[in-house]
Amino acid sequence: MRAAVIDRPGTPLVVEDLTLDEPRDGEVRVRMVASGVCHSDLHVRDGDWERPGPIVLGHEGAAMVEALGAGVTGLQAGQLVALTWYAPCLHCPACQAGRQWACSGSASVRHRMADETTRLHRTDGGEVLAYLSIGTFAEAQVVPATAAVPMPEGTPPEVAALIGCCVSTGVGAVVKTARVEPGSSVVVFGLGGVGLSVVMGAALAGAARIVAVDRVAAKLDVARELGATDGIVARDAAETLAAIRDATDGGPDYAFEAIGLPATVEQAIEVLPPGGTAVLVGLTPFGARASFEVFPFVDGSRRILGSNYGYAVAAIDFPRYARLHLAGRLPIDRLIDRRITLDGIEDAFARMRRGEGLRSVVTF
């Protein structure tokens, strides 16, 4: 099978032929049908995040089940599944408390299966890892059974793929992490796949004012289609913050940072009125730091929330988001503006660096 591999962070992807072992206990072999190209993949590709290699990148995917390993129940061949990049162990204290996004027993963070091995090999027999244990930039893959979540009948594969990362991250940040109340005011910094999913989540939650901020004016039009009430082209920080305050009667109840830049993290905190909450969703390069003035933060009883994966419990949330899409309440397909092959991923990364476009999706 063909897969997109990097030998180490900071090097280009190379599409090559790999061999794939059969699934073992608790594992599933799947045939990939769609994979989104996410900024987290770019962080690894560009060396912002240190990861072992060689490794097949990709972590936002949908696939068809082909074969089940021993002991796997609840799945069947021919079934469409969305893949979660944080396959829960289901046994650690966090999993037992219903916080699977904080699982401490998942081998996914080591890019291996539960037995600490990999099912991917080069033709010379050398090991190849799968990013976050699912490595969706591949024609086929063996994944943990807990990473494969059945989708409701009629779910488009590309929609299922995006539910696997950006939609759950963005929508979940609103409805699960922050629990935005109806009538609230919201600002969203950054309108990539995650930021636009935050906009959709805010509309779903009934926010009265949703202000979208990005330096690319065309993305503001998309945000308005998804529920934003206002759009601001990001310019000088002081000018941008003043425009946000004007649009939200002095500052938003919730400010979502969906880029992962220290400068916009600081803006999300600075723009808060007393009682406001900053929700940090975007992931920065390792070692990045941000700061804020402490006295007004404490004096105004402001809050900062970190939101990993939108607090996703994949087995519950993935089908729920799919049903909302099928009901017309989450227009997830609007996030996709380009369909590519494995050979087009490097170009998709280049678009992402330039801040162009929405979501590129690899179709197989």
- Return d(Cα 346, Cα 5) in angstroms, integer: 11
Kindly report the backbone phi and psi dihedral angles of residue 231, in degrees, each rounded to the nearest multiple of 5, phi listed first: -130, 135
Q: Are 186 and 180 a contacting pair, CB within 8 Å?
A: yes
- Among residues 98, 96, 162, 40, the alpha carbon closest in space to that of 312 is found at 98
- Return d(Cα 342, Cα 298) in angstroms, integer: 49
CA 60 from centroid of its chain's CA atoms? 7
Place of tokens 């082209």: 233
Distances (CA, A) of 69 to 27, 77, 120, 191: 5, 11, 16, 40
DSSP symbol at 260 = -
pTM of the model: 0.95
Distances (CA, A) of 364 to 24, 82, 223: 25, 15, 28
Place of tokens 């061949």: 77
- Return d(Cα 317, Cα 84) in angstroms, integer: 11
CA 253 from centroid of its chain's CA atoms? 24
- Return d(Cα 320, Cα 169) in angstroms, integer: 14
Kindly report the backbone phi and psi dihedral angles of residue 67, in degrees, each rounded to the nearest multiple of 5, phi listed first: -155, 145
Q: Structure tokens of 65? A: 């089940």
Question: In this structure, are strands 140-144 and 336-340 parallel, antiparallel, or unpaired?
Answer: unpaired
Q: Structure tokens of 42? A: 């770019």
Question: In this structure, are strands 140-144 and 127-130 parallel, antiparallel, or unpaired?
Answer: unpaired
- Return d(Cα 230, Cα 201) in angstroms, integer: 16
CA 70 from centroid of its chain's CA atoms? 30
Q: From first to last of its 364 residues, what are the pLDDT tens digits of the chain?
A: 999 999 988 899 999 999 999 999 999 999 999 999 999 999 999 999 989 999 999 999 999 999 999 999 999 999 999 999 999 999 999 999 999 989 999 999 999 999 999 999 999 999 999 999 999 999 999 999 999 999 999 999 999 999 999 999 999 999 999 999 999 999 999 999 999 999 999 999 999 999 999 999 999 999 999 999 999 999 999 999 999 999 999 999 999 999 999 999 999 999 999 999 999 999 998 999 999 999 999 999 999 999 999 999 999 999 999 999 999 999 999 999 999 999 999 999 999 999 888 999 999 9
Cα torsion through 66, 145, 79, 135, rounded to 10: -70
- Return d(Cα 207, Cα 275) in angstroms, integer: 17
Cα torsion through 106, 108, 110, 116, rounded to 10: 70
Strand partners, 75: none
- Among residues 51, 19, 11, 43, the alpha carbon closest in space to that of 139 is found at 19
- Among residues 239, 159, 230, 235, the alpha carbon closest in space to that of 197 is found at 159
For the chain, helix, strand, coil in percent to 5 are: 35, 25, 40
Q: What pLDDT is stored for residue 33 in this prediction?
A: 98
Strand residue runs (E) in 93-234: 120-121, 127-130, 140-144, 148-150, 185-189, 209-214, 230-233
Q: Are 61 and 34 a contacting pair, CB within 8 Å?
A: yes
Question: In this structure, are strands 254-257 and 185-189 parallel, antiparallel, or unpaired?
Answer: parallel
Q: What pLDDT is stored for residue 36 in this prediction?
A: 97
